[in-house]
């Protein structure tokens, strides 16, 4: 069932890359507060619906002004003033472009437009003038024209929305939302008021924002942009499962953009459904192969699914074949982990170094680099790097785990192939010193004593046999009373050493005690059985 649902969603997503206008949707969506969705629809409507082309040009001009594309904005405002059905709102649009550069001329053009018979008693023209000033950050002039609009029509939803926009621009969220509420009171179908209310409260009071959007959904279930808005809200709150549910519903609208699609794929990824997210990203790449978000998500998902060869392919596409990717340290670490899994350690280390360079607060990357040096058996660099990591830790973070891990690196270096005897001894001594710190920090835990035993066993020679003995005894004293099968392997390790130690000392009775501890755990242990047999013969021989 899940697979069928995903297939249907993907079919809808394919269709959504080609947007077609239907019955003046563009203007409706713009007025509802969705210029990004409105823009492609308006461009389509411009050629398919000549009856609204002048008004369409006005809204396209405003959209391009918001995108700081003055040339395009000018083009559409001028186009809206030509031909049959020319809309004088475009004159206010052209004036909007001059408010900062030539405020006197802009004001004169607005005044001239408002004297036209079509505008004189129409509050929408005064609202347009107020919006033009507001878009240029001129609050006083915006308020002036708002008041003039009020003289024509007081209880008017677009006017209340304008008042809310002015208050929001002044960063008074409460006053803004009071005005948006007023707009809904005047017109319960004023979608823009619901949307702007929710956006104003998104980062301030998410429950209120969600409640208002749900009111809109209940009022008009077919208005799926409310689902997108809810998806965006949950996404910004890192509640990705809920975001995915609303994006799933929104995709049915057929008006999704590449940006919507990438956000949907991201929410699915962060929800933990890596297979589904990968399928969505791959579909996106079929339509937009140089999209950095799709390539990034494909790489991330493949790493999460342990498809490392594919991950490397998508990593190459992301870093080298995507349009202007904004690289984060996560990009380097995911790429690095794919390389690490393929045992391409030098390249993996390089990626983690880049990640650390991007954000040197992520000192865990230094430990990752040390771990990779250790995996390639370059213990010298592993130790150097780990010591750098320790030097960056705050004192409260330097705990038993840190000393244990560093001690293990020295221990492993000491046991590397073809190591010089002096270097081996020095590394074992250093390891023992670090393991001793572990014992000090956690005296009732066995691991420090056990690793001291291993380090000292490595230091033993024929002349100093028994260095490991006290530490194996300490280890056994900690784990044996626990009577827990999880420690059986440790009991066996300790008992083997101690049994052999006492055998070498010719204390056969004591040696037998330890070999019997092993047999109590594993009666079929061949080494213990042979040892007991030999000990019994030795004991009889003594008699």
Q: What is the DSSP string of 457-491?
A: HHH--SSSTTTTHHHHHHHHHHHGGG--GGGHHHH
* DSSP class per residue in 1-64: -HHHHHHHHHHHHHHHTS----SSHHHHHHHTT-HHHHHHHHHHHHHH-GGGHHHHHHHHHHHH
Cα–Cα distance measured from residue 292 to residue 321, given in angstroms and rounded to the nearest whole number: 8
The answer as to whether 83 is a domain residue is no
Residue 529, domain member (yes or no) = yes
Neighbouring residues of 293: CB distance < 8 A, sequence distance ≥ 6: 262, 265, 266, 284
| 511 lies in some domain | yes
Going by pLDDT thresholds of 50, 70 and 90, the confidence category of residue 541 is low
Indicate the SS3 state at residue 513.
helix
Q: What is the pLDDT of residues 202-242, one digit of tens each?
A: 989 999 999 999 999 999 999 999 999 999 999 999 999 99
Alpha-carbon gap, residue 132 to 141, rounded angstroms? 9
* Total Cβ atoms within 10 A of residue 501: 19
Tell me, yes or no, whether 157 lies in a domain: no
The pLDDT value recorded for residue 543 is 56
Q: Is residue 469 part of a domain?
A: no
**Would the pLDDT of 395 be above 60?**
yes
Residue 8's pLDDT is what? 45
pLDDT score of 17 more than 50:
no
- Which stretch of 54-63, 84-93, 119-128, 477-486 has the lowest confidence by average pLDDT? 84-93
pLDDT at 411 over 90: yes
Mean pLDDT for the chain overall? 92
Q: Does the residue 518 lie in any domain?
A: yes
Average pLDDT (339-353) is: 98
**In the chain, how long is the greatest CA-to-CA distance?**
130
The dihedrals phi and psi of 65, each to the nearest 5 degrees, come to: -60, -45
pLDDT surpassing 80 at residue 349 = yes
Confidence band, pLDDT 50/70/90 cuts, at residue 1 = very low
Mean pLDDT of 303-317: 98
Q: Which two tokens stand for residue 68?
A: 């700081």
Q: Span 245-252, mean pLDDT?
A: 89
Q: What per-residue confidence (pLDDT) applies to 200? A: 95
Task: Tell me how many domains the chain contains.
Answer: 1
Confidence class for position 253, pLDDT limits 50, 70, 90? confident
Q: Is the pLDDT of residue 12 over 60?
A: no
pLDDT at 104: 96
Once rounded to an integer, what is the mean pLDDT over residues 400-429?
Answer: 97
Is pLDDT at 83 greater than 70 in this prediction?
A: no
Q: What is the pLDDT of residue 5?
A: 44
Residue 77 falls within a domain, yes or no? no
Q: If you count DSSP H runs as helices and E runs as strands, how many of each does the chain have, helices first?
A: 31, 0
For 451, left (φ over 0), alpha (ψ -120 to 50), or beta?
alpha
296-301 long-range CB contacts below 8 Å, 24 or more apart? 296/322, 296/325, 296/331, 297/262, 297/265, 297/266, 297/269, 299/331, 299/334, 299/335, 299/338, 300/269, 300/330, 300/334, 301/269, 301/274, 301/275, 301/277
Q: Other CB atoms closer than 10 Å to residue 274's CB: what's the count?
A: 19
Span 135-153, pLDDT tens digits: 999 999 999 999 999 999 9
Does the pLDDT of residue 24 top 70, yes or no?
A: no
Find the domain containing 526 and state its range: 494-542
Q: Which residues contact 172 (CB under 8 A, 6 or more apart)?
A: none
Write down the pLDDT at residue 539. 80
**Phi, psi angle pair for 210, to nearest 5°:** -65, -40
Residue 501 maps to a domain: yes
Is residue 247's pLDDT more than 60?
yes
For 85-140, write each residue's pLDDT tens digit: 678 999 999 999 999 999 999 999 999 999 999 999 999 999 999 999 999 999 99
pLDDT of amino acid 542: 65
Phi, psi of 81 (to 5 degrees): -100, 0
In this prediction, residue 259 carries a pLDDT of 84
- Interior angle at CA 251, CA 246 and CA 253, nearest 5: 110
Band (pLDDT 50/70/90 cuts) for residue 19 is very low
């Amino acid at each position: 069932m899940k697979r069928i649902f995903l297939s249907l969603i993907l079919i809808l997503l394919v269709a959504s890359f080609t947007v077609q206008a239907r019955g003046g949707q563009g203007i409706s969506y713009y007025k509802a507060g969705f210029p990004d969705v409105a823009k492609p629809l308006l461009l389509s409507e411009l050629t398919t619906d000549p009856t609204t082309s002048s008004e369409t040009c006005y809204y396209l001009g405003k959209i391009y002004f918001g995108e700081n594309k003055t040339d395009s904005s000018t083009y559409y405002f001028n186009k809206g003033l030509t031909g049959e059905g020319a809309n004088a709102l475009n004159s206010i649009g052209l004036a909007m472009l001059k408010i900062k550069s030539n405020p006197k001329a802009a004001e004169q053009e607005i005044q001239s437009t408002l004297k036209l018979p079509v505008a004189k008693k129409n509050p929408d023209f005064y609202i347009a003038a107020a919006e033009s000033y507001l878009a240029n950050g001129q609050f006083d002039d915006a308020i002036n024209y708002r008041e003039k609009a009020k003289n024509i029509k007081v209880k008017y939803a677009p006017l209340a929305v304008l008042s809310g926009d002015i208050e929001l621009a002044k960063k008074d969220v409460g006053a803004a939302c009071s005005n948006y509420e007023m707009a809904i009171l005047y017109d319960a179908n004023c979608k823009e008021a619901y949307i702007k209310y929710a956006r104003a409260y998104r980062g301030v009071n998410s429950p209120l924002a969600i409640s208002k959007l749900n009111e809109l959904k209940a009022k008009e279930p077919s208005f799926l942009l409310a689902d997108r808005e809810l998806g965006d809200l949950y996404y910004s709150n890192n509640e990705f499962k809920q975001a995915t549910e609303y994006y799933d519903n929104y995709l049915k609208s057929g008006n999704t953009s590449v940006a919507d699609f990438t956000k949907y794929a991201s929410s699915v990824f962060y929800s933990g459904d890596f297979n589904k997210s990968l399928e969505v990203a791959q579909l996106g790449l079929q339509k937009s192969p140089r999209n950095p978000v799709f390539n990034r998500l494909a790489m991330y998902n493949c790493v999460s699914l342990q498809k490392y060869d594919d991950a490397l392919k998508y990593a190459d596409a992301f870093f080298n074949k995507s349009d202007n990717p904004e690289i984060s340290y996560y990009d380097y670490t995911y790429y690095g982990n794919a390389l690490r899994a393929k045992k391409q350690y030098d390249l993996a280390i390089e990626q983690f170094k880049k990640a650390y360079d991007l954000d040197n607060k992520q000192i865990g990357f230094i430990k990752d680099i040390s771990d990779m040096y250790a995996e390639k058996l370059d213990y010298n660099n592993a130790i150097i790097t780990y010591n750098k990591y320790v030097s960056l830790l705050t004192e409260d973070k330097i705990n038993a785990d840190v000393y244990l891990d560093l001690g293990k690196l020295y221990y492993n270096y000491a046991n590397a192939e073809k190591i010089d005897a002096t270097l081996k001894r020095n590394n074992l001594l250093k390891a023992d010193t670090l393991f001793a710190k572990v014992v000090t920090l956690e005296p009732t835990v066995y691991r420090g004593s056990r690793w001291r035993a291993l380090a000292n066993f490595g230091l033993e020679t024929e002349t100093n046999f028994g260095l490991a003995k006290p530490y194996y005894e300490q280890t056994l004293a900690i784990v044996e009373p626990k009577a827990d099968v999880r420690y059986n392997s440790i009991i066996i390790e300790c008992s083997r050493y101690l049994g052999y130690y006492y055998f070498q000392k010719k204390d056969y009775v004591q040696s037998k005690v330890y070999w019997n501890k092993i047999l109590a755990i594993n009666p079929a242990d061949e080494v213990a059985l042979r040892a007991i047999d030999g000990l019994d013969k030795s004991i009889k021989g003594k008699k």
